[in-house]
Amino acid sequence: MTASPDPFGWAGHDLNGKYHVERVVGEGGFGVVYRAMHRGLGEPVAIKCLKMPGSLAEKERAAFEQSFLDEGRLLHRLSRAHAGIAQAMDMGTAVSPLGVWTPFLVLEWLEGNSLQDELEARRARGEAALPIREALDLISPALDALAVAHDEGVAHRDIKPANLFLARVGGRTMLKVLDFGIAKVLAHTVTLTRAFEETGTSIKAFTPQYGAPEQFDPSRGATGPWTDVFALALIFVELLTGRPALEGMDTIQLFVAAANPQARPTARRRGARVPEAVDRVLEKALAVNPRERYVKAGELRDELFSAVHGSLDTRRLLRAPTSGTELAPAPLPEALRSAQDLKPPVVVLPAPDAASTTSPQVGPVPPAPKSERAKGPPLALMLGLPIGMLALLGLAGTAWWAYDRPSSDASSESIRQPTQGNPTAPGTSPTEGASRPPGDEMVHVPAGAFTMGSKTASASERPEHTVTLTRPFMLDRLEVTVAQYATCVRSGACTPAGMHGPDLARSDISVRGALCNAFDPARVNHPINCVDRLQAEAYCRFVGKRLPTEAEWEYAARGVAGNRFPWGNERPSCAVLVIERAGAGVCRDGTTGTGTVGSYPANASPFGALDMSGNVREWVSDGFDENAYRRGDTANPVVAWRPGMKGIVRGGGWDSPLGDASAWRRVAINPTTGDLSTGIRCARDAQ
């Protein structure tokens, strides 16, 4: 097999000291895709390197770099918000071995096939059309993922079967949305656009065969989430009929097909036998006027489910929620899953001349004035947001990313449901097929009584009272590390860590989010941070454990003697724990962030658990009740968390003040917040 050309010269070299680049796997008009190994995690990744015009001035380059990084962070946030969006792991700029300035984006490596390839294979077998329920099951993960993106004010603008990827994840086939990207940075950078034009290259903004009228003709209105709705409806019609909904020999013919109000390409008009209610939904989704369509993918999803299944209750059971819970995409329906299981996974590579074989070139679409839309998100939210990375790289129908994921038979339902009732109840068993990561040591904590709370603490930590735990339990000796959590992410049972939450300002996330340990290959043995309560629960479930109750955590930290700190009653110092490292903190000493787990042996609890004070604050299972200590519960107390309640983190973190080192300190935060100092320590019942 002839090696692909390497215009940057990265193959065989390290990029930014983090990634060893192995080979080129695809090249298009705007970039090159490499397979590389993440040196810290030892896992393959895909690296997209952009081809930039050499005529860019230094000021123009700096402006583009800032826009590029902003859009890369946005892409990471989206991929963290829903597992159905291909994960963005890192971004930056570097000078290649050939001396070329290179913006790059690091993404997960997925094995499998695009939906486009699968549909073509079905057509070749004479099995083109799907039954309506199987078609809906197939496209549902894309509807869910785009619903999340649209709720964030982000549109994709290049949805098509080539950008819907059937990935092999944990022994199952999952559909993921590819190529949320940053082409709009190119399209809206005038000097950059002109520089590309000087080289005979133009920036593609969409794929005409799945284009909405406003993408062909900007005078019809702005593009936005409603543009994705149009494309999703076209794909659904294609699944039902076995052939593309828009047909034409060139861009003009495709525009006529997309914009003819008398011939909407609904399922019935294309020859499929579907209920009238379904065709009415498609008629609205395919409206020529953007103002007459569903505004977001979530609306289309809900209406399709109602039309197909005929019941709101059924719809709720069938679709994944898109707020408050982060879920993996649903498995592929049987019609396509069985076909995939007959052959091994294939890494799909681009055509040799992908840049020249893509759809006709269409220029970027400027936004319309705000007055042109009476409803939906303000158009200002759509400015500067990403469109398909296919447009950016000119690589049609390709996917390159991917983890060699370990097998897991855990059901999606077991991942989705929060722990019910008393978390200390016996019967917690390991997830079938999951394996515990190396270094997964636990300490035994016997049944016993201890003093909980304090006479001198804040109101929610008073009064001091005696609590008895009647059952022994096991507790992680160390905080969960980046490497351990990555195992769960690779299995599909956990979503990627990243700074997020309703209490955090977007500007703060942009500035400080890089301190999330998952982004730094040198910190694989640091505690995972930037995880919320749901992510902590999901990880503990994955390894057959659970979160400790608040009483269990404090007992393990203080012991029967009721120590103020895990190590005793001596005042904390920088030599004992990782704390006060933020800003002008007294322990900063040139160091910001967490430390390697277990690196402070003096910070050991009476039962041998390390770092229970400092490093990261640890989620417990209880919901926050300010009056819990005054209720007089003395045996195995627990406040069952319910939706709407705040969660609790314990132990203080690297950025906490020294006062938070006290083992009785309890902090209430939003359970959907993953901050720089929120981490995980798991427990389980003693055998």
**Tokens read off for 5:** 């050309």
| CA 511/CA 554 separation, integer angstroms | 34
- Residue 510, pLDDT score: 63
Output the 3-class SS for 629-666: HHHCCCECCCCECCCCCCEEEECCCCCCCHHHHCCCCE
The arithmetic mean of pLDDT across residues 127-143, rounded, is 90
- 69 — pLDDT class (breaks 50, 70, 90): confident
Nearest in space to 639 (alpha carbons), one of 514, 541, 551: 551
Count CB atoms within 10 A of the CB of residue 510.
15
Write out pLDDT tens, residues 266-311. Answer: 999 999 999 999 999 999 999 999 999 999 999 999 999 989 876 3
> Where do the structural domains in the chain lie, given as residue ranges?
14-393, 441-685
Q: Which class would CATH give 441-685?
A: alpha beta
| CA 632/CA 466 separation, integer angstroms | 9
| CA 104/CA 32 separation, integer angstroms | 10
Write out pLDDT tens, residues 505-536. Answer: 766 676 677 789 998 888 999 999 999 999 99
| CA 122/CA 340 separation, integer angstroms | 11
CA distances (Å), origin 109, targets 86, 174, 186, 583, 659: 9, 14, 25, 37, 44
Q: Mean pLDDT across the chain, nearest whole number?
A: 77
| CA 280/CA 70 separation, integer angstroms | 39
Three-state DSSP at 469 gives: strand
| CA 217/CA 197 separation, integer angstroms | 21
In this structure, which topology does domain 14-393 adopt according to CATH? Answer: Transferase(Phosphotransferase); domain 1 (1.10.510)
**Tokens read off for 649:** 């983190």
What strand order describes the sheet that includes 442-445? 442-445, 473-476, 683-685
Three-state DSSP at 343 gives: coil
Query: Which segments of 115-255 are extended strands (E)?
Result: 164-169, 172-177
The arithmetic mean of pLDDT across residues 609-616, rounded, is 96
Alpha carbon 537 to chain centroid distance? Answer: 16
- Residue 168, pLDDT score: 83
| CA 245/CA 237 separation, integer angstroms | 6
pTM attached to this predicted model = 0.49
- Residue 78, pLDDT score: 82
Nearest in space to 408 (alpha carbons), one of 372, 379, 436: 436
- Residue 127, pLDDT score: 82
Q: Among 89-103, 318-332, 585-599, whose mean pLDDT is lowest?
A: 318-332
The arithmetic mean of pLDDT across residues 34-61, rounded, is 85
On the question of a cis peptide bond just before residue 463, with omega within 30 degrees of 0, the verdict is: yes
- 205 — pLDDT class (breaks 50, 70, 90): low
Q: Among 58-72, 127-141, 328-342, 665-679, whose mean pLDDT is lowest?
A: 328-342
